[in-house]
């Protein structure tokens, strides 16, 4: 473990901050002698199924395990994805994963409020962790998760699929090349009308909040990686039109605004009560970029002042897992960080947004 | 005058509020025996030239007079637009317009801070007034102008060209027909990079403010007529990246947000420091509308969930003057009001936006 730990520490130390990052090439096929990342999925709901299906196309990552509280789901997954029974666990037994040489990393796709304790348990078992976003329900929890994984010498990555999306990276590459000039403004509209009112995403105890935790975080991500700076203040305004569906602590719609050190500003919308949104817009002195749709499962579409974006669509979860294999196994530095520290920054912003809603005032942010 | 005054009062009393308005047909050609609105332009700068050119295509309105402090401009206009010398005035003499039977209305396109005194003088001369937006530099001035015109028995209209723009009205017609369902969200991005730093628009004394007065007001208008309600609160955040070009009191960039009684919200941007903006976006439970460009001189382009907007482009100032002739001469009620009361509402909002920037808090609005 010692050499791995020192390697990981080196990765953490050299991880470039967003403004300095270079444009990366898409994942190249692995050399035949390179190891494949062996993944166990924890929490076998709809999103885990999407990830598992997407991983069928992966060359660098492979689904080898599953963790669920529902025995029938484990049986089903064994059949559908060829997972051996010995690699299946439930929430009482999964600490034993530390003795399983077939699993390198556990990808947690459970409800938000469970991430903290589950990440700590996986880290204690000595396995790497990929935690679906939001990484936790507040920055304090997130930092504890980062600290625990660092102490255990394991990678902690956050399931930020858009951070690997080709058209998104095409825009960031253009920005880094100066094609838009000085960046002035970002606008991110993220939301959808959520269905079933009994789902965990509308339960404060499990979700830790409402639309902001689930979909608003994409606008936060977008503001940060599109502008290429860290915001220094945030203001936010909440409205709730359906207090029956959206209980106290579960935000329906929040508008929020950022200011950046350069003077650039951002205007964002997070909502569980509107369709026909999903747009990123980046404005610079010399040009603009528009992604619309910007965060759906794709294909993402977009244009700039130079014309249509041309990067090809790839299933988001496929390329995410390919890239995460390179990060975990080969120390690759992604264009946009997806590590726990990055997740904590987003949680600090979410904490500040909720604080700004309550205070009605501009809340300062210190992310660097 | 008595019958005219009572007629005007009747118009004011029956003016429908925005949510109740019906979709109107475009201006029909006048009957051969109908009078034509005879217009004098005051302030012969770039915008007055645009209006005068556009009026060449008007059937219901005609340019018959001019007011300028620059004798050479008056000579030039006499030649270019066939205006008789007897219908030309300067800022010392224009009160005499009251004795001129060839002029029905004065269209004021001077710097914002001059509107108040000039409107009062035109009203005192017994002529109708069209005042370019912003109608004044604050709501107090605007209300005094409304009161003065009411007392004088003359119409006071504001030069809101977008209020007559066909694609804009097409969207509002669709909204009124329920095509978008319950309205949830409006987004208005209005701005451009302003040039010459010595122009009056960047002089607080003449402009009364900065981008908000000139271009942000379009987003305010849009939020009101697209949502179809009056906002009940506003929050606002200012940034200034160039304090040399944008002196104290001259806003460069302001983000502002509205809340409406229904729970709908709006997110707006006003800037003198970004190009590639100019977008309106309206979101409803059943559909959306996007206008992009939304407020430039045209053609305006747009689409909804039903497809591209199809209303034909008309030069904005041409249709504005045709419609204003019908309002002034024939008591027509436009789909979106353009009277002084409407202008005062926008100024109350601008007052509140500037107050919200200073207070950093949600400012209440009482417009109805």
pLDDT (tens digit per residue) in B330-350: 999 999 999 999 999 999 999
Chain B residues whose beta carbon lies within 8 Å of the beta carbon of residue A267: 187, 255, 267, 269
pLDDT of residue A30: 53
Q: DSSP secondary structure string, B291-347? A: ESS-SSSS---EEETTEE--PPP--HHHHHHHHHHHHHHH----SS--BHHHHHHHH
Ramachandran angles phi, psi of A357, nearest 5°? -60, -45
Query: Would you call B267 and A259 a contact, using CB atoms and an 8 Å cutoff?
Result: no
Write down the mean pLDDT value for chain A.
93
pLDDT band of A29, cuts 50, 70, 90: low
Chain B residues whose beta carbon lies within 8 Å of the beta carbon of residue A253: 184-185, 265
What is the distance between the alpha carbons of residues A258 and A353, in angstroms, rounded to a whole number?
Answer: 10
Query: Would you call A267 and B271 a contact, using CB atoms and an 8 Å cutoff?
Result: no
For A82-135, write each residue's pLDDT tens digit.
999 999 999 999 999 999 999 999 999 999 999 999 999 999 999 999 999 999
**Mean pLDDT for the stretch of residues A204-231:** 98
What ipTM was assigned to the predicted interfaces of this complex? 0.87
For B35-64, write each residue's pLDDT tens digit.
999 999 999 999 999 999 999 999 999 999
CATH class of A2-161: alpha beta
A70 and A64 Cβ atoms separated by less than 8 Å: no
Nearest CA in chain B to A182: B274
Residue numbers of chain B with a pLDDT score lower than 50 = 1-27
For A224-274, write each residue's pLDDT tens digit.
999 999 999 999 999 999 999 999 999 999 999 999 999 999 999 999 999
| Residue A348 Cα, gap to closest chain B Cα (Å) | 21
pLDDT of residue B34: 84
pLDDT of residue B33: 74
Chain B residues whose beta carbon lies within 8 Å of the beta carbon of residue A235: 235, 237, 360
pLDDT of residue A22: 35
DSSP-assigned beta bridge partners for residue B106: B40, B129
Query: Would you call B235 and A240 a contact, using CB atoms and an 8 Å cutoff?
Result: no
CATH superfamily ID and name for B163-313+332-364: Dihydrodipicolinate Reductase; domain 2 (3.30.360.10)
DSSP B151: H
pLDDT of residue A202: 98
CB-nearest to A274 from B241, B279, B283 is: B283
Q: Where are the domains of chain A?
A: 2-161, 163-364
For A302, the token pair is 């977009």
Query: Maximum distance among all alpha carbons in chain A?
Result: 58
Query: Which CATH number is A163-364 given?
Result: 3.30.360.10
Whether the pLDDT of residue A31 is over 90: the answer is: no
For A340-364, write each residue's pLDDT tens digit.
999 999 999 999 999 999 999 999 9
For B214, the token pair is 């000139």
**Mean pLDDT for the stretch of residues A206-213:** 98
A164 and A334 Cβ atoms separated by less than 8 Å: yes
What is the distance between the alpha carbons of residues A94 and A91, in angstroms, rounded to a whole number?
Answer: 6
pLDDT of residue A11: 37
pLDDT of residue A15: 37
- Interior CA angle at B346 toward B39 and B28, to 5°? 40
With both helix axes pointing from N to C terminus, report the angle between A71-81 and A46-55 in degrees, rounded to the nearest 10. 20
Q: Over the range A16-42, which residues count as b (16 or more CB within 10 Å of their CB) and which as e?
A: eebeebeebeebeebeeeeeebbbbbb
Whether the pLDDT of residue A14 is over 60: the answer is: no
């Amino acid at each position: 473990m010692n050499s791995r730990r020192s390697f990981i520490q080196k990765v953490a130390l050299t991880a470039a901050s967003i403004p300095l990052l270079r444009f990366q090439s898409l994942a190249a096929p692995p050399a035949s002698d390179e190891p494949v990342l062996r993944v166990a999925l924890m929490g076998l709901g709809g999103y885990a199924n999407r990830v598992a299906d997407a991983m069928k196309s992966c060359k660098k990552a492979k689904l080898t395990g599953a963790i669920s509280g529902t025995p029938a789901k484990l049986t089903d997954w064994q059949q559908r994805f060829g997972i051996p029974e010995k690699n299946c666990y439930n929430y009482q037994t999964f600490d034993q994963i530390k003795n399983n040489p077939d699993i390198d990393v556990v990808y947690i796709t459970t409800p938000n409020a469970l991430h903290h304790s589950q990440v700590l348990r996986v880290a204690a078992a000595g396995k790497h962790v990929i935690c679906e976003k939001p990484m936790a329900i507040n920055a304090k929890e997130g930092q504890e998760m980062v600290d625990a994984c660092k102490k255990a010498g394991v990678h902690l990555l956050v399931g930020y699929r858009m951070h690997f999306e080709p058209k998104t990276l095409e825009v960031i590459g253009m920005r880094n090349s100066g094609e838009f000039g000085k960046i002035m403004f970002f606008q991110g509209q993220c939301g959808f009308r959520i269905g079933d009112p009994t789902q965990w995403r509308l339960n404060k105890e499990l979700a830790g909040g409402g639309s902001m935790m689930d979909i608003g975080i994409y606008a936060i991500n977008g503001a940060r990686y599109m502008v290429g700076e860290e915001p220094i203040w945030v203001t936010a305004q909440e409205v709730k039109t359906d207090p029956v569906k959206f209980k106290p602590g579960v935000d329906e719609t929040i508008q929020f605004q950022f200011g950046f050190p350069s003077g650039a500003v951002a205007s964002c919308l997070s909502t569980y009560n509107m369709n026909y949104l999903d747009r990123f817009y980046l404005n610079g002195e010399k040009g603009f970029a528009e992604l619309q749709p910007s965060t759906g499962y794709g294909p993402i579409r977009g244009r700039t002042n130079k014309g249509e974006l041309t990067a090809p669509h790839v299933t988001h979860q496929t390329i995410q897992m390919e890239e995460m294999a390179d990060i975990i196994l080969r120390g690759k530095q992604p264009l946009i960080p997806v590590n726990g520290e990055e997740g904590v920054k987003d949680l600090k912003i979410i904490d500040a947004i909720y604080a700004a809603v309550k205070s009605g005032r501009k809340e300062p942010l210190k992310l660097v």
